[in-house]
Amino acid sequence: MSSDKLTIKQKFDRWMIKHGRVLVIGIPYFWLFLFFLVPFLIVLKISFSMAEYAQPPYSALFAWIDEGVTITLNFGNYLFLLSDSLYATAYLNSIRIAAISTIITLLIGYPMAYGIARARGSMRSVLLMLVILPFWTSFLIRVYAWIGILDREGLINAFLMWTGIITEPLIMRQTEFAVYVGIVYTYLPFMILPLYSTLEKMDISLIEAAMDLGCKPWQAFVKVTLPLSLPGILAGSLLVFIPAVGEFVIPELLGGPNTLMIGRTLWNEFFANRDWPIASAVAIAMLIFLVVPIMWFQHIQTKQEEREQ
Amino acid sequence: MSGKRSTFLISALVFGFAFLYVPILLVIVYSFNEGKLVTVWAGFSTKWYVSLFNNDGMIDAAWNSLRIGVMSATLALALGTPAGLVMSRFGRFKGRTLFSGMIAAPLVMPEVITGLSLLLLFVTLEQLIGWPAGRGLSTITIAHTTFCAAYVAVVVQSRLSGMDISVEEAAMDLGAKPGKIFFVITLPMILPALMAGWLLSFTLSLDDLVIASFVAGPGSTTLPMKVFSSVRLGVSPEINALATLIILAVSILIVIASILILRSERLRNRAANGGAEAT
Amino acid sequence: MPEAVLDRAHEDVHKTQPWNNPDAVPYIRFENVTKKFGDFYAVDDVSLDIYRHELFALLGGSGCGKTTLLRMLAGFEEPTSGKIFIDGVDMAGVPAYERPTNMMFQSYALFPHMSVEQNVAFGLVQDGVSRAEIKEQVADMLALVQMTKFAKRKPHQLSGGQRQRVALARSLVKRPKVLLLDEPLGALDKKLREQTQFELVNIQEKVGTTFVMVTHDQEEAMTMASRIAVMNEGVINQIGTPFELYEYPNSRYTANFLGQVNLIEGVLVDDDEKYAVIKSDEANCDIYIDHAVQGHEGMTFWVALRPERLRLTKDAPEDTKYNCLSGKVEEIGYLGGISTYHVRLETGKRIKVTEPNSTRQIEPRYTWEDSVWVSWEAGAASVLNK
C-alpha cells in the first residue's frame, strides 16, 4: 500500500498514532518535570541567595543591574552550614540513627520474613496481610501510639512501677531510644516485604540440597539462604535507611530536644527561623548525602527488573 | 525443617506481630477510657467519640483531607497510568532515563525536601505569573498528585510487565489501532492494579503531614496537620478515638477487599475445573 | 505414454506443487530480508517464496530467526533491509492492524476479560461489520472449531485444547489472506497435539487460507506442512517438501534436524559418471554410491545413512567389499514395535541401527557384545558436502 493511495481517514489515524505517542509521553513528563524537577532547581537557586526580611524572604538571584543580568552566587549559606557545628551534628546524628535503626529493623524483619515465606499457603497470605495492614493505617497515629507507651506517665512506666521493679519512672520518651523504637516500628513492613519476596522465590530444595551434602541447618542458612537473599536485604535496608535519614515526625514526637536530625533542622530553619535560603542549603546538602544510596537503590531495582524479564 | 528452628521462627513471628499490633490495640482500648490519663482505667465510655464529633476544627480538617485525597488520587491515576504505560511498553525514546528517574525519585525522596521544593516552586510561580494565587487545597492537591502519580506509575508498570504482551499484539493483529487497544484491552486487564493504585494514592494523601505542612495555606489545615499539632503536647483521648475510627475503617475495607479477591479466585478455580471436566 | 496424458500429469503437478511451476506467481515473497537487533542478525538476507493455499512451516531451533520472520510478516517488526510482498503488495510501512494477515499466538493471547464469542468477534468489530453479520460469522467459526457450546465462557474457564480452538477461530474469522501460526501446538500435551495436527490440516483444506507456521518440532512440521524451510542462525538451510528434506538433505544440519542419521566422513577416491566410491577411515570401509557425486577426487564428504535403512546380521554378507561394517552391539533400546541398536565399530565409531520387530521372537535377537555386521543398499546413502 503506497502512501498516495491512503484515504484521508487513514492519514489522520496515522498522524494521531504518531502524535498520540508524543502526547502520552508528554503529559506525565511535563507534570513531573514542572512539579518535581524544576522545584529542585529552585531550591538550588535559593540556597545561593541571601535571607531578607521580605516576602518571599530571600534576595533575588537574578537582578537587573545596568541593564544586564548578573547572577549573584552567595556561598554564605553553605559556609554557615560548615561553620556551625549544629548542622554537622545533625547530619551525623541522622545517619547514625538511620543506620542503627536499619540494622535493628533487619534483625527483627529477617526472621519474620523468613517465617512468612516458609508458612503454608493460606497462613502465608494472612501473615502477609498482617504485615501490610499497618501500612494502610495512619503513619502519624502509629507514631502517636508510642507516646502513650513510652511517656513518663506511660504504660511501661506504670507497669514497672506497679510491679515494684522501679520506683522512679524511666525517661524513655524524648530520648534517642524512643526514636529508634519509632523508626523500627513504622518502617518494619518496608523491610519485611522485599525480604519476603526474595525469600519466597527461593527454591527450598536448595537448602535441602545443602543439608543433603552435609551442611548443618545454620551452615545451610549462612552459605545458601543468606547470600541468595542479599538483594532483598539491600533493597529493604535502603527502603528503611533513605527515608529514616530525612525523618521529621518521629524525632519531633518521640525524640527529645537534643535528638537533632536533619529533617527536623530543616523544618525548624524553615518554620521557626523563616530562613529559607539556609533551609534550601540544608536540603541540598541532605540530597548530596542521599544521592549515593538513592542511586544504589535504583540500580538494584533495575537489575531486579532485568532479571525478571 | 528442624523443630528447633521452627520454634525460633514462630517466636520471631509472634514477637514481631505483637510489636506491630500491641500499640495499635492499646490506642483502641484507651479510646474507650472514661478518664484522661493513659495509665488509669476509669471505666468504659464513648464520650471521647462524642467530643471528637463536636470538634469542628477536626471535622473541617477531615473534610479537607478527604477532598484532597479523592482529587489527588484521581489525578495521580490520570497521570501515573500513562507514565507506567510509557515505561513498560514504549521502548526507547529521547529522555527516557530522565523520565524513569523522575518516576522513581519521588518514592524515596525525604518528604521535607519534596515539601520545601514544591513550596518554593509555588512562591516563584506566583511571583512570575501570578498563579497559584496563595496556597491552599489546590497546592496541596498538586503536591500530593505528583508523588502519588509516581506510585501509580510503578504499580501500573509492574502489572504491565507481568502481562503477556501478545494479548495486545493480538488486538493489533485483528485490526485495533493503538489508542483503541489501550482502552478496550489493556485498561480492563490492569483494572485491579488501577484500583490498588488509586487506593494507595488516597491513603498516602490522607496520611501526609510534612509535604502538606509546607504547601498549605491559611484555612487549608488537613487532618494530619490537626492531629500533629494536638499530639505534640502528649496523649489526647480524642485522638485515640479518631485513631480507632481510622483503624476500623481501614480494617473493614481490607477485609471486604480480601473477601472479594478470595471469592473471585474461588469462582475462577471452580470455573476452571468445570472447564476441564467438560472436555 | 501418450503426450496428452503426460501434459495432464504436468498440469496436476503444477497445481498441487506450484513451486515446481516456473510460471506460478508466489503469494508471499521475502526479498533479501535482513533483521538486526543491535549487532545481532536475527534474520540474515533471507529470500523465500510461498504460494497460495500452502501450509508452509518454518522449522528450526530456538533463536534461529523463524519467529522474527513470522513477526515481520505480521507487521510487529519492520525488516532492517529487504522487502516483503503479500499478494503482490509491498508491506513496508503497513502497520499490523492494516495487514491482510492474522496470527495465532503461541500463548493464544486470548483476551481474558472477554467471552469466547467476544474474542472471536473482536476482529470483525474492528472492521465495522454489521451486528447481524458478526453474529453469523462468529457462529460459523465456532461451529468449524466445534466450540459452539462454549461461546459464553471466559478463556480461563477453558482447557488448553479449547483455548487453542478459540485462538484459531479468532484468527480465521476475518478471512485473512495469510494465517500465521506461532508454535500452534506448543502448549498442548503430546496426545492432544497429534490429534490436533490433523484437525488443523483439515481446517486449512476446508477454508483454503494460506498458512505459515513456525515450529521447532520436526514431527509436527512433517505431518502438517506442504513445504518446510529449515532455518539455522538467521538463514534458510533448505526448502522442500517433507519427503525431499528427509530423503535428500542438502547438509548435515538438515539431515540431523529431521529424523536420525549416521554421518560417516570420508574421501572421494573414485568418481565416475554412473557411480562413486568414498573411502572412510573413520569407519574403515569403502562406500559405494550408485550415482555420480559433484566433486573431485580427494575431497571430503559425509555419507548420511538413516538407521532404518541399515541391515543388521550376525553373519557376514556375501560381498564385504563395499557398504559393510562389522562391530559389536553396545547398547540396545527395545521400544516394542522397533528396536534400536548402537553398534561400536573397531575404529571406535558408533553406528545406530533400527529394526522393526515384525515377528514375535522367543528371545531378543541380539544381546550385548554380539558381533554383528551392518550393511546397506547402494541407493540408501546421501552424500553431503557441508
The alpha carbon of C4 is separated from its chain's Cα centroid by a whole number of angstroms, namely 35
| Residues on chain A touching C89 (C-beta within 8 angstroms) | 1
Clarify whether residues C48 and C180 are in a common domain.
yes
Same domain, C277 and C213: no
Is C156 domain-assigned? Answer: yes
Mutating which of B19, B75, B117 best tests the A interface, going by the most A Cβ atoms within 10 A?
Answer: B117
Percent of chain B with pLDDT over 70: 91
What pLDDT does C362 receive? Answer: 80
- Closest-CA distance, A180 to chain C, in angstroms, reads 48
Share of residues in chain C with pLDDT > 90 (%): 22
Residues 250-289 of C with CB under 8 A from B: none
Q: pLDDT for C84-142, tens place per residue?
A: 999 989 988 888 888 999 999 988 889 988 999 999 999 998 888 899 999 999 999 99
Chain C interface test: which of B173, B187, B191, B269 (most C C-beta within 10 Å): B173
Q: Say whether residue B166 is in contact with chain C using an 8 A CB cutoff.
A: yes
Q: Which of A21, A37, A246 sits opposite B112 (nearest CB)?
A: A246
A2 interaction partners in chain C (CB closer than 8 Å): 90
Question: Do C215 and C247 lie in a common domain?
Answer: yes
B277 band by pLDDT with thresholds 50, 70 and 90: very low
Best mutation target among A32, A222, A239 (most B Cβ atoms within 10 Å) is A32
**A4 has pLDDT over 90:** no
One domain, residues A96 and A224:
yes
Report the complex ipTM: 0.84
Query: Is residue C324 one of the residues assigned to a domain?
Result: yes
Q: Which of C340, C272, C274 is nearest to C306 (CA)?
A: C340
**Is the domain of A65 the same as that of A81?**
no
- Mean residue pLDDT of chain A comes to 82
Scanning every residue of chain A, which has its alpha carbon at the shortest distance from the alpha carbon of B202? Answer: A136
- Using a CB-CB cut-off of 8 Å, the residues of chain A touching C94 are 1
Q: Is C240 on the interface with B (CB under 8 A)?
A: no
Closest CB to A42: pick one of B1, B124, B142: B124
Residues A61 and A98 in one domain: no
Q: Please indicate, yes or no, if residue C330 is contained in any of the structural domains.
A: yes
All three cell numbers of C140: 460459523
Same domain? C271 vs C175: no
Closest CA to C324 of C383, C369, C280, C366: C280
The residues in A 57-96 lying below 8 A from B, measured between CB atoms, are none
Same domain, A26 and A148: no
Q: Are residues A225 and A267 in the same domain?
A: yes
CA distances from C285 to A7, C275, C322 (A): 71, 17, 7
Q: Nearest-CA residue of chain C relative to A17? A: C95
Domains of chain B: residue spans and CATH = 56-233 (1.10.3720.10)
State residue C379 phi and psi, 5-degree precision: -85, -5
Nearest CB among B175, B271, B275 relative to C97 is that of B175
For residue B211, which of B115, B72, B69 has the smallest C-alpha distance? B115
A106: contact with B, CB 8 A cutoff: no
Alpha carbon distance C101, C207 (integer Å): 15
CA-based max dimension of chain C: 77
Q: How far B147 CA sits from the closest chain C CA (Å)?
A: 31
Considering A71, A93, A119, which residue would you say is the last residue of a domain? A71
- What is the predicted pLDDT for the residue at C332? 87
Decide which of C204, C223, C254 is a domain's last residue: C254
Q: Which of B173, B189, B276 lies at the smallest CB-CB distance from C103?
A: B173
State the average pLDDT over residues B6-24. 89
Task: Looking at the structure, tell me whether residues C206 and C353 fall in a common domain.
Answer: no
What is the per-residue pLDDT across B169-200, written as a single tens digit (0 to 9) for each? Answer: 999 999 888 888 999 999 988 888 898 889 88
Give the helix ranges, DSSP H, for C87-189: 116-126, 131-144, 160-172
Of B143, B137, B118, B146, whose CA–CA distance to B60 is shortest? B137
Same domain, yes or no: C141 and C94 = yes
My answer on whether A134 and A238 are in the same domain is yes
Q: Which of C196, C220, C254 is the last residue of a domain?
A: C254
pLDDT of residue B67: 94
* Best residue of A144, A267, A307 to probe chain B, by most B CBs closer than 10 Å: A144
Task: Tell me the shortest Cα–Cα distance from B198 to chain C, in angstroms.
Answer: 21
Whether residue C174 is found in the same domain as residue C59: yes
Q: Is B37's CB within 8 Å of A153's CB?
A: yes
d(CA A159, CA A169): 10
- Chain C contact present for B169, CB below 8 A: yes
CATH number for the domain including A230? Answer: 1.10.3720.10
Mutate which: A12, A21, A42, vs B, most B CBs within 10 A: A42
**Chain C partners (3+ C-beta pairs within 8 A):** A, B
pLDDT digits (tens, 9 = 90+) for C219-275: 888 888 989 999 988 899 899 998 988 888 888 888 888 888 888 888 888 877 788
Rounded to whole angstroms, the Cα distance separating C174 from C162 reads 20
How does pLDDT run across C279-290, given as a tens digit for each residue? 888 777 888 888
Residue that finishes a domain, picked among A71, A92, A127: A71
pLDDT at C62 over 60: yes
- The predicted pLDDT at position A54 comes to 57
Q: Which of A8-22, C163-177, C188-202, C299-313 has the lowest mean pLDDT?
A: A8-22
What mean pLDDT do residues C365-379 have? 83
Pairs of CB atoms within 8 A across A/B: 246
- Domain coverage including residue C309: 260-384
Considering only residues C222 and A300, tell me which one the structure prediction assigns the higher pLDDT: C222
Q: How far is CA A155 from CA A181, B22, B32, B258, C231, in A?
A: 15, 12, 16, 34, 76
Which subunits have 3 or more CB–CB pairs within 8 Å of chain A? B, C
Note the pLDDT of residue C30: 92
Cβ atoms A140, A222 nearer than 8 A: no
- Indicate whether C286 and C241 sit together in one domain: no
Last residue of a domain, one of C254, C281, C309: C254
Neighbouring CB atoms inside 10 A of C41's CB total 17
Same domain, A81 and A213: yes
Confidence label for B2 from pLDDT (cuts 50, 70 and 90):
very low
Tens digits of per-residue pLDDT, C175-221?
889 999 998 888 788 888 888 888 888 888 888 889 999 999 888 88
Q: Are residues A11 and A99 in the same domain?
A: no
pLDDT at C8: 61
CA closest to A130 among chain B residues: B17
Confidence of residue A55 (pLDDT cuts 50, 70, 90): low
Answer yes or no: are the C-beta atoms of B171 and C111 closer than 8 Å.
yes
Residues 6+ away with beta carbon under 8 Å from A120: none
Q: Are A143 and B24 in contact (CB under 8 A)?
A: no
Task: Judge: A2–C90 Cβ closer than 8 Å, yes or no.
Answer: yes
Distance from C-alpha of B100 to C-alpha of A242, rounded to nearest angstrom: 19
Looking at the structure, tell me whether residues C247 and C265 fall in a common domain.
no
Least confident range of A14-18, B255-259, C266-270: A14-18
Kindly state whether residues A67 and A117 are assigned to the same domain: no
Is B91 an interface residue toward C (CB < 8 Å)? no
CB contact under 8 A, B278 and C171: no
Please state the domain count of chain A.
2
pLDDT at B276: 44
How many domains is chain C built from?
2
Chain segment A176-199, per-residue pLDDT in tens: 899 999 999 999 999 999 999 899
Structure confidence at residue C10 as a pLDDT band (50, 70, 90): low
Higher pLDDT, residue A207 or A100? A100
Instruction: Give the residue numbers spanning the domain of A241.
Output: 77-308
Whether the pLDDT of residue B136 is over 60: the answer is: yes
Q: How far is A16 from chain C (nearest CA, A)?
A: 14
Q: State the chains in contact with B (3 or more Cβ–Cβ pairs under 8 Å).
A: A, C
Distance in Å, alpha carbon of C171 to nearest chain B alpha carbon: 7
Cell of C62: 530456538
Identify any residues that bridge with A69 across adjacent strands, giving them in sequence order: A64
The domain spanning residue C292 has which CATH number?
2.40.50.140
pLDDT at position C9 is 61
Give the pLDDT of residue A72. 58
Choice among A18-22, B87-91, C55-59, C122-126 with the minimum mean pLDDT: A18-22
Q: Chain B partners of A107 at a C-beta cutoff of 8 Å?
A: none
Residues of chain C contacting residue B174, judged by C-beta atoms under 8 Å apart: 97, 102, 122-123, 126, 170-171, 174
Q: Is C4 a member of any domain?
A: no
Q: Is the dihedral of CA B71, B74, B77, B79 positive or negative?
A: negative
User: C7 falls in which pLDDT band (50, 70, 90)?
Assistant: low
d(CA A39, CA B214): 13
Same structural domain for residues A57 and A89?
A: no
pLDDT of residue B78: 94
The answer on C202 and C72 residing in a single domain is yes
A104-118, A121-135, C13-27: lowest mean pLDDT where?
A: C13-27
DSSP annotation of C341: E
The residue out of A34, A54, A71 marking a domain boundary is A71
Contact residues for B201 (Cβ-Cβ < 8 A; gap 6+): B69, B72, B73, B76, B77, B80, B144, B148, B149, B151, B152
Domain of C69, CATH number, reads: 3.40.50.300
Residue A306: HSE in the Cβ half-sphere, 13 Å Cα cutoff: 6
Residue C213 pairs in a beta bridge with C57, C181
- pLDDT surpassing 90 at residue B205: yes
Q: Are residues C236 and C356 in the same domain?
A: no
User: Considering Cα of C220, then C226, then C230, then C236, what sign does the dihedral take?
Assistant: negative
Q: Which amino acid is at C300?
A: T
Chain mean pLDDT for chain C: 86
Mean pLDDT of chain B: 85
- B210 vs A243: CB contact, 8 Å cut-off? no
Say yes or no to pLDDT of A75 above 80: no
Which helix (H) or strand (E) covers residue B262, if one does? Answer: helix B237-278
**pLDDT score for C119:** 92
Q: Is the pLDDT of residue A139 over 80?
A: yes
How many A-C residue pairs are in contact by the CB < 8 A criterion?
A: 10
The pLDDT of C363-378, averaged and rounded, is 83
Same domain, A277 and A186: yes
Say yes or no: C247 and C291 in one domain: no
For the segment B32-71, what is each residue's pLDDT rounded down to a tens digit?
A: 888 777 667 778 888 889 988 888 888 999 999 999 999 9
Which of the residues B31, B108, B139, B244 would you substitute to probe the A interface, choosing the one with the greatest number of A C-beta atoms within 10 Å? Answer: B108
Average pLDDT over residues A113-121: 87
Query: What is the pLDDT confidence band of residue B279, given thresholds at 50, 70 and 90?
Result: very low
Q: What pLDDT band is residue C3 in, cutting at 50, 70 and 90?
A: low
pLDDT of residue A66: 47
Do A63 and A208 fall within a single domain? no
